[in-house]
Amino acid sequence: MGEAVDWKIKFPDLGVSVRLPKNVSGQKYRIERTAAGLFARHGFGSVGVADLCAATDMGRGALYYHIKSKESVLFDIAAGYMRTLNAGASQILEAGVEPDVAIRALSRLFMHVMFEDRNEMTVCFRELHSCSAEKQTEIRALHRDYQKFWEKAIQRGVDSGRFRGISSVQLKGLLGMYFYSFLWVNPFQSKSADEIADEFAEIVLSALSPRGTH
């Protein structure tokens, strides 16, 4: 069993914080973190069970004591990443902050989680096709849930007259800016997660402004 702790992400200037459960120890946690790194670097199809055993310094029997299959590890990584985002987004919407603040907080949440778990995000968005059809359906449902949090934040702004409505296609385009940031964002570069997230939020808010400004 792994140890779960509260991962608290604070945005003091926005008056928002979220608490996310996060496993920080245990063999299954170590296997998933190691597997995420291997899958992100080499691709799921190029990593075999023998590679997982070598990277974790575990025999095949010990490895399978903690996991069902390589495919189950892939699903747990991808689903776990989206569940983390959804848990944080839910708390932001429940906080009842102003619509523009909710957009900025959602933006920062995403970037913080991506900086923390970049390998997991890479696997989540690049290796979905490697899951079974059933598991792909489950993960896509988590993606839809995540989009609904953004839709709710935007609708609050529309209802208050601060935002204009946008189509589902337009929202998917804006979220794609976030989802594929793993391709170029470097957590060790000069810009922080908040700085990148705030620039992204500016783009979203400009797109939502009735007058093209906010």
Q: What is the pLDDT of residues 53-92, one digit of tens each?
A: 999 999 999 999 998 999 999 999 989 889 999 999 999 9
CA 203 distance to own-chain centroid: 19
Q: What DSSP state is assigned to residue 22? A: E
Per-residue pLDDT at 34: 94
**Contacts with 84 (C-beta within 8 Å, 6 or more apart), sequence order:** 20, 22, 113, 117
The answer to whether residue 213 is domain-embedded is no
Write down how long the chain is: 214
Which residue, 87, 72, 74, 75, is CA-closest to 149?
87
Q: Is 196 exposed, middle or buried (0-12, 13-18, 19+ CB in 10 A)?
A: buried
Q: What is the mean pLDDT of residues 126-154?
A: 94
Q: What angle do CA 153, 112, 43 make, to 5 degrees?
A: 110
Check whether 121 has a pLDDT greater than 90.
no
Residue 13 lies inside a defined structural domain of this protein? yes
* Phi, psi values for residue 16, rounded to 5°: -130, 140
Mean pLDDT score, 146-152: 97
Whether the predicted pLDDT of 167 surpasses 60: yes
Q: Are 66 and 25 in contact (CB under 8 A)?
A: no
Euclidean distance between CA atoms 208 and 157, whole angstroms: 9
Structural domain contains residue 93: yes
In a domain? residue 214:
no
Under a CB-based contact definition with an 8 Å cutoff, are residues 200 and 176 in contact? Answer: no
pLDDT of residue 4 exceeding 70, the answer is: no
What's the pLDDT at 23? 65
pLDDT of residue 183: 83
More reliable by pLDDT, 7 or 204: 204
> Is the four-CA dihedral 140, 9, 194, 92 of positive or negative sign?
positive
Per-residue confidence (pLDDT) for residue 188, from 0 to 100: 67
Range of weakest confidence among 23-32, 51-60, 109-118: 23-32
d(CA 32, CA 137): 21
Domain with residue 21: its CATH number is 1.10.357.10
pLDDT at 142: 95
Joined tokens for residue 140: 């896509």
Confidence of residue 128 (pLDDT cuts 50, 70, 90): confident
User: Which structure tokens are listed for 131?
Assistant: 């899951």
Mean pLDDT of 116-142: 90
More confident residue, 187 or 105: 105
- The whole-number average pLDDT for the span 29-40 is 92
User: Average pLDDT, whole number, for the chain?
Assistant: 90
Domain-embedded: residue 134: yes
pLDDT at 212: 47
Instruction: Give me the domain span that covers residue 102.
Output: 4-208
CB 154 within 8 A of CB 163: yes
In the chain, DSSP finds a helix count (H) and a strand count (E) of 9, 2
Question: Cβ distance 76 to 127 under 8 Å?
Answer: no
| Number of domains, the chain | 1
Average confidence (pLDDT) over 175-197: 86
Report if residue 29 sits inside a domain: yes
In 3D space, the residue among 213, 199, 109, 194 whose CA is nearest the CA of residue 153 turns out to be 109
